[in-house]
Structure 1
């Protein structure tokens, strides 16, 4: 069986546990050389440990593939640059960036502290930006030097970021921002041969143990629908050269289900060619809302 990422170089952030760990292992099985990044923090972002990244790098070595551990903070701008440079120095380049790292500090809006907001936005949204910024600079430079790479970025959004989730206002805002950033990056980087897509995974991790408590046990069929390994084959294909015609997409993955999200689209509209009178807005807008598709339910509503 051919390995669809043979010879390619990947960075996977948050790869010490959960979904990121499975991404790193699957990319290695598919022939990629992997920079395994993980700060080793707890589920709420506290503390550090080199063990998770080192353990996954060791597992990849046991598979007969190549890996190196990295303990940088994804949201540290200089740290993100070091990570990209580590891939280049260790393996001779960079072809794949999987932005996965993150943590939760769930609160209802009225109970959310400023520090909690800043921490979640920082790791998810700034963490995606920082790695993408430095990787993109490398790919642009390579293209200008006549050495374009078939580069792939796979970001990580969430159903919370697409449909909303009660009690996760901060996480929802960050993940919605990642989806929007994906659309812009896909357009800006396409000229350099780079594709940028995002996944919205649903799987059992430290962050979702309570959510999936009812489905923790494997069903009689033997298929564990919330196993994080279910998500990684989609990431591996998006990371391959075969996916060159797919960019600017958000793909939901849950169990054996793959769904292409359609996102915000222009719906019913009316243009009267002049400024609206305030009293006339209500009837016109209600008429448009009656013609529009109803929104998807918010998770937890």
Structure 2
């Protein structure tokens, strides 16, 4: 069955180039009316350009409908205004892809606190700002599809990216609460961890890999995750046409009592505490407490 976005309105942040542009073009091709948001800055967040306008022109030239927005996701009031403008023009917002981001890479020892804060502000607070701006509209409509952009750095770590990693795992955590809060209003929230050759990663890839990891090869996962029949609370890795699922799991654990309830006891039981046999994938934070109660009853 063809996945269509006819009569849907989508906002894509950071859509002036790279992944965001690829998402916007494919959403439009499949019938969505698209708001192309891009500050147009360099990858460290400085400067401006008319990148968003160019993508809007591309969409219109192909027969689609789009409008541009040059605001920063860090400015909540502007995002509220953007949503109001979108509703006025097209009647609602059905899809939000939080893609805007910046890099300011340095080892933690050399990282300025301002660079830490700025990266968290754009990725994490910025995504929360735009999501908050569309949330009430999606609740009223009883329909919403939201995609957060995490990263392998957030999920698994990467040298020199403490700020980026903290923000990215924060986004996966934001997803895990919003999918619960949005469920009764048919709002589905997912996380993508893309690997792509873009303006932000061009000096990290050798030229041939840069081609293999083109942004269009991430698009199928992103569009599925904001489609009508999307799952919710998934963390999906995507790059070069390979798609993966990542999970936050919990081991069965071990109950310690008496003398064993001590740092030495934890050390002695470490192999059992970390044994992954029978581990679970909790669907909410309450499941950790439930697993502990179960152990207490069994113990």
TM-score category of the 2 structures, normalised to the smaller one:
0.7 to 0.9
For residues 67 and 15 of structure 1, what CA distance do their matches in structure 2 show? 12
Q: 1:233 aligns with which of 220, 229, 232?
A: 220
Aligned to 1:266: 250
2:146 to 145, 150, 153: 153
Range with greater deviation from structure 2 (81-90 or 28-37):
81-90
* Residue in structure 2 matched with residue 102 of structure 1 by the alignment: 101
Query: How many pairs are equivalent?
Result: 276
State the partner residue of 2:239. 254
Could you give the per-residue CA deviations for residues 234-278 of structure 1, whole angstroms, max 9, x where no partner exists? 2222222132xx10111000111111111x211141112458223
Q: CA 1:93 to 1:47, structure 2 compared with 1: closer, same or farther past 3 Å?
A: same
SS at match of 2:212: coil
- In the other structure, the counterpart of 1:78 is 77
1:121-136 to structure 2, matched below 5 A, reads 121-136=120-135
Give per-residue Cα distances to partners, 1:180-234, cap 9 Å, x unaligned: 11111111111111100011000101111122125346xxxxxx42111111122
Q: Deviations over 1:46-73 (max 9, x none)?
A: 1122x10100001000110100000111
Equivalent position of 1:298 in the other structure? none
Does the residue aligned with 2:16 lie in a helix, a strand or coil? coil
Contact 1:28–1:66 under 8 Å retained in 2: yes
Instruction: Please state whether the residue corresponding to 2:101 is helix, strand or coil.
Output: coil
- Pairing 1:211–2:204 present: yes
1:83 deviates by 1.8
2:40–2:52 contact (8 Å) kept in structure 1: yes
Contact 1:39 1:73 (8 Å CA) reproduced? yes
For residues 2 and 283 of structure 1, the distance between their equivalents in structure 2, rounded to whole angstroms, comes to: 55
Cα distance, 1:3 vs. partner? 5.6
For residues 220 and 189 of structure 2, what CA distance do their matches in structure 1 show? Answer: 17
CA apart distance, 1:82:
1.4
Q: Return 5+ residue gaps in structure 2 as ranges.
A: 278-299
User: What's the CA shift string for 1:84-135, capped at 9, x where partnerless?
Assistant: 1122111111100000000100010100101100110000000110011121
| 3-state SS, counterpart of residue 206 of structure 1 | coil
Name 1:221's counterpart in structure 2: none
Tell me if structure 2 keeps the 8 A contact 1:10–1:87.
no
Q: CA RMSD in A?
A: 1.7
Q: 1:216 & 1:276 partners in 2: Cα distance?
A: 51
User: What is the Cα deviation at residue 280 of structure 1?
Assistant: 2.4
Aligned to 1:117: 116
Partner residue in 2 for 1:170 = 163
* In structure 1, C-alpha distance between the alignment counterparts of 2:73 and 2:197, rounded to whole Å: 22
Match of 2:24 in 1: 24
Larger RCO, structures 1/2 (Cα 8 Å, 6+ apart): 1
Aligned partners of 1:176, 1:6: CA distance in 2, in Å? 32
- 4+ runs deviating over 4 angstroms: none
Q: Secondary structure at the match of 2:78?
A: helix
